[in-house]
Structure 1
Amino acid sequence: MLFEKRFWAGIEDGSITLTFRRWKRRQAVAGRSYRTGAGIIDVLAVDIVDPASISDGDARAAGYPDAASLVYELRGDDTLPTYRIEFRRSDRSDPRAELARESELDHDERAEIDRRLDRLDQASRSGAWTRDTLRLIGEHPARRAGDLAAMMGRERDDFKADVRKLKNLGLTESLDIGYQLSPRGRAYLADPS
Structure 2
Amino acid sequence: MLFKAKMLERIGRGEVTLSFRRWAKPTVRAGGTLRTAAGVLAIDSIERMDLDAVSAGDVHAAGYASREELARDLRPGGELYRIAFHVAGKDPRENLRENDTLDPGEIEALREALAKLDRAGSWTNTALSMIAERDGRTAAEMVERLDMEKLTLKRKIRQLKELGLTESLAVGYRLSPRGHAFVKGNRQES
TM above 0.5, yes or no, is yes
In the aligned structure 1, how far is the partner of 2:134 from the partner of 2:146? 12
1:2 deviation in Å? 1.6
What is residue 95 of structure 1 aligned with on the other side? 92
What is residue 113 of structure 1 aligned with on the other side? 110
1:76 deviation in Å? 5.0
Are 2:165 and 1:171 equivalent residues in the alignment? Answer: yes
What is residue 52 of structure 2 aligned with on the other side? 52
Secondary structure at 2:102's aligned position in 1? Answer: coil
In the aligned structure 1, how far is the partner of 2:66 from the partner of 2:9? 18
* Structure 1 counterpart of 2:131, from 137, 148, 156: 137
* Structure 1 counterpart of 2:152, from 129, 154, 158: 158
Structure 2, gaps ≥5 residues long = none
Count the aligned residue pairs: 187
CA-based RMSD of the aligned residues comes to 2.1
Secondary structure at 2:58's aligned position in 1? Answer: helix
CA distance change for structure 1 residues 74 and 165 in 2, over 3 Å: closer, same or farther? same
Secondary structure at 1:189's aligned position in 2? Answer: helix
In the aligned structure 2, how far is the partner of 1:171 from the partner of 1:52? 45
Secondary structure at 2:118's aligned position in 1? Answer: helix
In the aligned structure 1, how far is the partner of 2:16 from the partner of 2:145? 38
- TM-score by length of structure 2 reads 0.86
- TM-score by length of structure 1 reads 0.85
Structure 1, gaps ≥5 residues long = none
What is residue 82 of structure 2 aligned with on the other side? 84
Deviations 1:22-78 (A, max 9, x none): 22333222233210132211211111112221123322221222112212332252x
Which moved further from structure 2: 105-114 or 6-15? 105-114
Query: 1:21 corresponds to which letter in structure 2?
Result: R
Are 2:141 and 1:147 equivalent residues in the alignment? Answer: yes
1:171 deviation in Å? 0.3
Identity of counterpart residues, as a percentage? Answer: 37
In the aligned structure 2, how far is the partner of 1:37 from the partner of 1:149? 25
1:144 deviation in Å? 4.0
In the aligned structure 2, how far is the partner of 1:26 from the partner of 1:142? 33
Deviations 1:55-110 (A, max 9, x none): 23322221222112212332252xx33211111122x2211111111112223322
Which moved further from structure 2: 167-176 or 48-57? 48-57
Which moved further from structure 2: 152-161 or 110-119? 152-161
